[in-house]
Homo-oligomer: A and B are copies of this chain.
Amino acid sequence: MTTSPSRRAAAKSLALAAAGVAVSKSSAAGTPVNPSTNAKYKAVFAVSDADPARWNMVLGNIRNAQADLGADNVLIELVAYAGGIGMLKLDAETAQRVSEAARAGVLVSACENSMRGHNLTRAQLNPQTGTVPSGVGHLIRRQNEGYAYIRS
């Protein structure tokens, strides 16, 4: 994971603040927060299709899962790879919804192999996006860590 912990902590703080949740001084100050600390559930959502309808479906699914389980009870990560990498582009039709998901505490991770395969640089992706060396390798790690897996 090359994602900056402080960037994620800031996103989490914003999300909690927006949700009216008390944010501790340490996280408000940017101190890294491990978002999994208090989460009963962990889930990784995988997207590999170059299909905006599916991108919108998964973003709706994530929102519904947060509402169902309680946003504070579930740590959600979205991993985009293969054709799904397009979902994270700055000019994707889902760009605003991806930013909203990140602000609501969702970790967003792009596969570096897929970025190379699609000639995408970091600067072309949503600034809220982190990267992982291999999307599928990361999905295996996350399941090994006890994450549920939701394939879109």
* Chain A: interface size category: 20 to 34
Per-residue CB contact flags for chain A residues 39-77 toward chain B (1 = under 8 Å, else 0) read: 011010010100000000100011011011100001000
Copies of the polypeptide in the assembly = 3
Q: Are B113 and A74 in contact (CB under 8 A)?
A: no
With both chains docked as a complex, state the minimum distance between the C-beta of A55 and any C-beta of chain B, in angstroms: 13
Inter-chain contacts of A65 with B (CB < 8 A): 134, 136-137, 140
The verdict on A133 contacting chain B, using a C-beta distance below 8 Å, is yes
Residues of B within 8 A of A62 (CB): 136
Q: Judge whether B41 and A136 touch: CB under 8 Å.
A: no
Q: Contact check: which of B41, B82, B113 meets A141 at CB < 8 Å?
A: B41
Name the distance in Å between A63's Cβ and chain B's nearest Cβ: 9
Q: Does A29 contact B (CB under 8 A)?
A: no
